[in-house]
Structure 1
Amino acid sequence: MIKACSRYFLYILNHKLNVLVECWKEGLYIQGIIHDFSKFSSTEFFPYAKKFYSGMPLNDDDELKWKYAWLRHQRKNKHHWEYWVINPNTKEALPIPKRYIIEMVCDWRSFSRSWGRKVKESTLNLTDKIVIHPETKRELETIMTNKFQKSAEGEAKSFH
């Protein structure tokens, strides 16, 4: 389990670094630093390490601990859209403040940085698959559209 914990710890640090880079581009300095601190809590850390880095299947008790850890993570971190859901059955959610929408996008972009892929608009356009307030959906789509327009303009300039 020590190996699983050390591998997971390194994963968290790498993820936090990638999110930090993305958040700093947006001027979200403090959010970039404190992003996902809850992953270091024992209630999240050990179940995640065991599930993703132990190389062994989880028993029912460990699987339940991981589900609780994931739920806790979503409910502790405002950059997760799940944090703002009131009723998933009726798709009722509160509007997400813009800084958390941007942090959410930074989190999504960080995964592309981690895997060495270029982020595509279709990769991040999840607004029809997640439960968010209509106002948040409009804001998220605006942010996404602006990001990809700037990205396309930057690529076009690099070819001249």
Structure 2
Amino acid sequence: MSNEETNKKTRLIVLAALLAALVFLATAYILHIPVGGNGGYVHVGDAFIYLAAVLLPTPYAMAAAAIGAGLADIATGAAIWAIPTMIIKPILVLFFTNKTEKIINMRNVVATLIAGIVGTVLYMLAEGIMIGSIQAAFVMSLVGLVQPLGSAIVFIIVGLAFDKANIKVKYHLLAA
């Protein structure tokens, strides 16, 4: 492996770790609002999962999502959700593209909506399995629809700021 390849991999690992830390902080502590009696909570951590998805190659973004969100569940007393979270959050990465110079484009804006719906449905299924009732989980999951909206708004605001600063080009984050 050449020095240039090693440097690129190191940069990607460091950026993935930084984004995992941001996912953790935004999930566990920034606008962390407990809801319902199921140990769940509303947060804007998904905004940083979306950001990881548009800045990093998919495997790195998926790792940042799983690690950051999973650790947040454990740290906030919602450890029962850590395994479903570490399965669900990486799936949300798949709807975004990192192959354009701009973070905010039509595909990534639409991806926030798709990721929000898919995430809500997958958590509803996980909760249904845990409590033994998909119907009850569906009713409780309706509150969870607020979270994807907040995360989408934060992602778009941060993404527009990063686009204005030309972050992807400046830091060589364009996908090959």
TM > 0.5 between the two? Answer: no
Q: Normalising to structure 1: TM-score of the pair?
A: 0.32
Larger radius of gyration: 1
Q: Normalising to structure 2: TM-score of the pair?
A: 0.30
